[in-house]
């Protein structure tokens, strides 16, 4: 059997096309160094050599001689099935799941071509029990669509009338929301909701620990899920060897989610000193989504949403600076479409404006995101890892804005943009 497996592996390696990327240099994101030159050898989906003494003569060469290479970037907080037009009512009330899936295909392609080769779709936003983001993930894996690798969450888990209840503000009898849609009352329904998402293909679970900005609750940070509900969600998810992301703006909800075992806090706007220490103690990631602030015109929002946004966004920026200074682990998240799909890299510069170094900003979108996902096959340009590689014009350690104009995109050894 061992001999047969060796023969099969040998057969695969000689059949796979060898590609040589020749570039000016590449960023070693682990050390934060520019390495020159960059001769990256790829066989099939995998990086097999970096700057070897002898370049393979039979390789197909891709000339990127004036470019700098980076590992494919990752976005840990996106909603591919959603577009933002000063609100979401046009989607909630008028769009079917099938159209939402097509919208997701459009947005997934824009995200990939922007250099993001992995995306965590952290909750779909359609009034359906269908799993749009799971369909997108499976279509991407099969090569049916041009898209990043997608880690789907299915439906967000929220209390009835909470931030994730998509019927909030709509007629009460329009459509019933159930645990299948992620809407729960009590720990037993919380378990049912988790199991339904996982049964139907979710690879991460998102829960709403607090209220939010762009929904019609009166507050932006009030506790929503109870301790019992959060523990039920986390324990059930962990039984399936998956992780929980917790939407949390409010101080007490942030700390409750950390204590319940969430792996990441999304937004974390009203994070306090105790919350920072808890995040460090438990190794919890902050996904700050701070760049979205630049794209939200509060004058065009519903007055209640505008009031909440104008209150919480400045505090979120202030508390992000404290978290960065304290050494909280950061993973990049855009909350796209709030940062429009395809402009995801704006978040890198936005985080730097609040104290993150260029090297740490790149780590947030590469090795930190891989760690948060619990995967070790991506996040660096390194032998043995997936050939998810992008190219930019300048050294991003010196000019991060160059990442907003990606010139070349490879995912798994396949070129999508050149």
pLDDT over 70 percentage in the chain: 95
E strands in 177-310: 183-184, 205-208, 244-248, 264-267, 285-287
- Host domain of residue 53: 2-72+380-417
Q: Residue 18: which CATH number?
A: 2.30.40.10
1 or 141, higher pLDDT: 141
Quick: pLDDT tens for 360-384. 999 999 999 999 999 999 999 999 9
Give yes or no for residue 13 having a pLDDT over 80: no
When pLDDT is cut at 50, 70 and 90, the band that residue 174 belongs to is confident
Q: CA 10 → CA 19, 193, 214, distances in Å?
A: 18, 45, 54
At residue 406's C-alpha, the angle toward residues 297 and 79, to 5°, is 45
63 and 42 inside one domain: yes
78 and 66 inside one domain: no
Give yes or no for residue 14 having a pLDDT over 90: no
pLDDT, position 172: 67
Of 3-12, 135-144, 295-304, 333-342, the one with minimum mean pLDDT is 3-12
pLDDT, position 219: 87
Quick: pLDDT tens for 185-229. 999 999 999 999 999 999 999 999 999 888 888 888 899 999 999
Of 66-70, 164-168, 169-173, 389-393, the one with minimum mean pLDDT is 169-173
pLDDT, position 214: 84
Measured distance CA(43)–CA(21) in Å, rounded? 11
Quick: pLDDT tens for 30-64. 999 999 999 999 999 999 999 999 999 899 999 99
395 or 300, higher pLDDT: 395
Three-state DSSP at 331 gives coil
When pLDDT is cut at 50, 70 and 90, the band that residue 15 belongs to is low
Give yes or no for residue 9 having a pLDDT over 50: no
pLDDT, position 1: 47
172 and 276 inside one domain: yes
25 and 118 inside one domain: no
My answer on whether omega of the bond before 413 falls inside 30° of 0, hence cis, is no
25 and 85 inside one domain: no
103 and 40 inside one domain: no
Mean pLDDT to the nearest integer, 130-146: 97
Domain tally, the chain: 2
| Structure tokens, 142 | 């099969």
Q: Residue 319: which CATH number?
A: 3.20.20.140
Give yes or no for residue 12 having a pLDDT over 80: no
63 and 163 inside one domain: no
pLDDT, position 299: 86
63 and 92 inside one domain: no
Host H or E run for residue 347: helix 346-352
Quick: pLDDT tens for 347-359. 999 999 999 999 9
User: Which residue, 176, 187, 145, is CA-closest to 414?
Assistant: 145
66 and 97 inside one domain: no
> Which residues, in sequence order, are bridge partners of residue 34?
27
pTM for this entry: 0.94
Measured distance CA(125)–CA(257) in Å, rounded? 22
Of 202-211, 302-311, 390-399, the one with minimum mean pLDDT is 302-311
pLDDT over 90 percentage in the chain: 80
221 and 168 inside one domain: yes
Radius of gyration in angstroms for the set of CA atoms belonging to the chain, rounded to a whole number = 21
The overall average pLDDT reported for the chain is: 93
Q: Are 22 and 39 in contact (CB under 8 A)?
A: yes
Mean pLDDT to the nearest integer, 131-155: 97
Mean pLDDT to the nearest integer, 145-161: 97
Q: CA 141 → CA 43, 383, 387, distances in Å?
A: 19, 22, 15
247 and 350 inside one domain: yes
When pLDDT is cut at 50, 70 and 90, the band that residue 339 belongs to is very high
Three-state DSSP at 348 gives helix
pLDDT, position 35: 98
Mean pLDDT to the nearest integer, 151-167: 91
Which residue has tokens 């978040």? 347
325 and 393 inside one domain: no
* Residues with Cβ within 8 Å of residue 325, at least 6 apart in sequence: 355
Host H or E run for residue 14: helix 2-15
């Amino acid at each position: 059997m061992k001999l047969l497996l060796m023969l099969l592996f040998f057969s695969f390696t000689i059949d796979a096309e060898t590609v040589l990327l020749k570039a000016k240099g590449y960023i070693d994101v682990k050390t934060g160094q520019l390495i020159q030159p960059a001769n990256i050898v790829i066989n099939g989906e995998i990086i097999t050599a970096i700057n070897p003494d002898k370049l393979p003569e039979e390789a197909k060469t891709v000339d990127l001689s004036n470019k700098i290479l980076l590992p494919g970037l990752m976005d840990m907080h996106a909603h591919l099935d959603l577009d933002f037009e000063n609100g979401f009512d046009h989607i909630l009330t008028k769009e079917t799941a099938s159209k939402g899936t097509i919208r997701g295909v459009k947005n997934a392609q824009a995200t990939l071509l922007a250099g993001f080769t992995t995306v965590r779709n952290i909750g779909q936003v359609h009034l359906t029990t269908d799993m749009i983001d799971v369909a997108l993930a499976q279509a991407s894996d099969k090569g049916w669509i041009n898209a990043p690798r997608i880690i789907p969450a299915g439906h967000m888990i929220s209390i009835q009338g909470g931030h994730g209840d998509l019927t909030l503000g709509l007629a009460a009898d329009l459509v019933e929301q159930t645990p299948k849609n992620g809407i729960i009352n009590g720990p037993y329904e919380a378990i049912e909701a988790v199991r339904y998402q996982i049964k139907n293909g979710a690879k991460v679970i998102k829960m709403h620990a607090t209220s939010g900005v762009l929904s019609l609750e009166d507050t932006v940070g009030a506790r929503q899920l109870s301790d019992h509900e959060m523990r039920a969600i986390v324990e059930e998810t962990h039984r399936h060897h998956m992780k929980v992301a917790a939407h949390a703006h409010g101080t007490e909800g942030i700390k409750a989610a950390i204590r319940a075992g969430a792996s990441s806090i999304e937004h974390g706007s009203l994070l306090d000193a105790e919350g920072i220490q808890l995040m460090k103690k438990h190794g919890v990631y902050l996904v700050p989504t701070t760049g979205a602030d630049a794209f939200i015109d509060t004058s065009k929002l519903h007055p209640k949403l505008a009031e909440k946004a104008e209150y919480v966004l400045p505090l979120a920026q202030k508390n992000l600076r404290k978290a960065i200074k304290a050494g909280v682990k950061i993973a990049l998240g855009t909350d796209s479409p709030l940062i429009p799909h395809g402009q995801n890299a704006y978040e890198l510069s936005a985080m730097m404006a609040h104290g993150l170094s260029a090297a740490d900003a790149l780590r947030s979108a590469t090795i930190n995101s891989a760690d948060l996902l619990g995967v070790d096959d991506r996040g660096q340009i390194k032998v043995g890892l997936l050939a998810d590689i992008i190219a930019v014009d300048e050294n991003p350690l010196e000019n991060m804005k160059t990442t907003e104009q990606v010139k070349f995109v490879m995912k798994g050894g396949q070129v999508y943009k050149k």
